[in-house]
Chain A
């Protein structure tokens, strides 16, 4: 009788460990996949190109809002102020989502990016959107 009980207990423990390891494996895999998609390098590359192409398509007088909510979390995590994530200088857009790391992409439209700043919600916190205004270069 005692033997039987011990045996059942062993099977249960083995199964639980087996299940836990499987869950652990899946969790690690999912975390890895999420981290890859929201990686600094991937986001910097995507946003620099997206904004450069938007500037290329822009016409004087236009206003644009870019959804950068994915970048907001990453910038906060890496200690980069959200209002310093986007830099438009010369014919280049530079995105910085980590200290000392950034990615630039060139645009060809000779337009004046009059203003670009992150939008804030009613509570004064950044909502993850960047606002751009354009005017004719004189």
Chain B
């Protein structure tokens, strides 16, 4: 009788052991699916590269792009008009109804700490800009924004503050949403 109880107990332990294994397996499968099911979100990196490319195009190695200023030292409007070509950028998308997933804004202000813009460049889909002002905890389904700022010294000695805002949406490619 004693032995029989012991044997039943062993079998009972085995059943519980496998029940635990099944629970562990289900847990691992769910966690792995949650991890690999989400695509890699590279939008912050991408926006950073976009901002860096724009910055390097405007001011590289201590030299201002010679196409930015006229001989009189004023901003050239044709730099703004040909900004995409000058800076080797191309936001064109495939498909007729596909929205451009990029937005780039560059603002120049005279001096340091001056908030009045002397010159501005805007390229891409401006509808993405409001996403940068939304402060929510889970902003994965919004466009990702990067702000960069640097000072630029021209050959005449004038200092400008350059503010760059780069925005990348691509929500469907980078999230499950």
Q: How far is the CA of A109 from the CA of B53 in the complex (A)?
A: 9
State which residues 17-74 of A face B: CB under 8 Å.
Answer: 18, 21-22, 25, 29, 32-33, 36-37, 39, 42, 45-46, 49, 52-53, 56-57
A100: Cβ under 8 A from any B Cβ = no
Pairwise interchain contact A53-B89, C-beta atoms closer than 8 A: no
The answer on a CB contact under 8 Å between B94 and A92 is yes
Per-position contact with A for B71-92: 1 when CB-CB < 8 Å, else 0? 0000000000000110011111
Q: A29 near B91 (CB under 8 angstroms)?
A: no
Q: Which chain B residues border A109 with CB–CB below 8 Å?
A: 53, 88-90
Nearest CB in chain A to that of B93: its residue:
A106
| CB of A23, distance to nearest CB on chain B (Å) | 12
Q: Is there an interface contact between B36 and A39, defined as CB atoms closer than 8 Å?
A: yes
Q: Is the CB of A56 within 8 A of B88?
A: no
Q: Using known A-B contacts A56-B49, A56-B50, A108-B90, determine if residue A25 contacts B42 with beta carbons closer than 8 Å.
A: no
The yes or no answer to B102 lying at the interface (CB within 8 A) is yes
Asked if B88 and A91 sit within 8 Å, CB to CB, the answer is no
Is the pair B40, A25 in contact by a Cβ cutoff of 8 Å? no
Q: Complex formed: what's the CA distance from A39 to B91 in Å?
A: 30
Q: Are B94 and A108 in contact (CB under 8 A)?
A: no
Q: Is there contact, CB below 8 Å, between A106 and B170?
A: yes
A84 contacts across to B, CB distance below 8 A: none
Assuming the contacts A25-B25, A39-B36, A105-B173, asked whether A53 and B14 have C-beta atoms less than 8 A apart, the reply is no
Nearest-neighbour CB distance to chain B for A105, whole angstroms, equals 6
20 contacts between A and B (CB under 8 A): A14-B10, A18-B17, A22-B21, A32-B29, A33-B28, A36-B36, A45-B40, A46-B40, A49-B40, A56-B50, A56-B53, A90-B92, A92-B94, A106-B101, A108-B50, A108-B90, A108-B91, A108-B102, A110-B89, A136-B88
